[in-house]
């Protein structure tokens, strides 16, 4: 299984009382790089494209353990970037861990271990989220679930049905 985190800019879209000055048209973070304005989202995919994602309160080992602990099989192999977060989780969970060092240009180890599937998912997720011009952080888990649904079922359902289910939640299907 592959694990990596991605970050979304914190958004208070629609709120009237902000603890900071409002950003114009989405805007950018006050500081470059990672800061408290960035919301970490953990994405885990296995080679069967089963996906789990979660908004983390902080990008640390305890938060990753809370999400992955109940769902990771003891004989799984965790593949991640060289972040200490995943190394700590793997040691605590007693599972095998392979880290790819992306900053050194190592993207694949032994032609089998990489995080390219999860990073491709990040790209699709960010591209899909761009159409909403930022979503409120409190609704981010809902949007992640919506994207998981589309990834899993979009190819097997007719496009109008996918859109109808995504918009209505299937409410009219249960009423008939």
**Domain holding 90: CATH number?**
3.30.420
176 is a domain residue = no
- CA Rg value for the chain: 18
158 is a domain residue = no
For 61-80, the pLDDT digits (tens) are 999 999 999 988 888 899 99
- Predicted structure pTM score: 0.78
35 is a domain residue = yes
154 is a domain residue = no
22 is a domain residue = yes
CA angle 80, 78, 121 (to 5 degrees): 55
69 is a domain residue = yes
Report residue 27 as tokens.
Answer: 């805007």
20 is a domain residue = yes
56 is a domain residue = yes
For 78-126, the pLDDT digits (tens) are 999 888 899 999 999 999 988 887 776 777 777 777 888 899 999 999 9
Report residue 54's pLDDT band, with 50, 70 and 90 as the boundaries: very high
For residue 35, give every residue at least 6 positions away whose Cβ sits within 8 Å of its Cβ, in sequence order, or none.
Answer: 29
Split into its structural domains, the chain has a count of 1
Is there a contact between 149 and 166 (Cβ–Cβ < 8 Å)?
Answer: yes
- Long-range contacts at 78-83 (CB < 8 A, ≥ 24 apart): 78/1, 78/3, 79/1, 79/2, 79/3, 79/113, 79/114, 79/115, 80/2, 80/3, 80/4, 80/115, 81/4, 81/115
Expressed as residue numbers, the domain containing 63 is: 2-135
């Amino acid at each position: 299984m592959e694990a990596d985190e991605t970050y979304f800019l914190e958004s208070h879209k629609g709120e009237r009382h902000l603890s900071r000055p409002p950003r114009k048209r989405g805007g950018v973070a006050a500081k470059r790089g990672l800061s408290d304005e960035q919301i970490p989202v953990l994405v885990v995919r296995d080679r069967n494209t089963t996906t789990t994602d979660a908004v983390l309160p902080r990008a640390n080992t305890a938060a990753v353990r809370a999400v992955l602990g109940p769902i990771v099989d003891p004989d799984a192999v965790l593949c991640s970037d060289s972040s200490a977060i995943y190394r700590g989780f793997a040691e605590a969970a007693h599972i095998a861990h392979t880290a790819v060092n992306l900053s050194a240009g190592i993207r694949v180890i032994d032609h089998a271990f990489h995080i390219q599937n999860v990073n491709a998912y990040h790209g699709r997720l960010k591209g899909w989220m761009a159409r909403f011009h930022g979503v409120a952080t409190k609704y981010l888990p809902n949007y992640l679930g919506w994207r998981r649904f589309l990834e899993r079922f979009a190819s097997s359902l007719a496009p109008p049905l996918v859109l109808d289910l995504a918009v209505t939640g299937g409410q009219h299907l249960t009423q008939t």
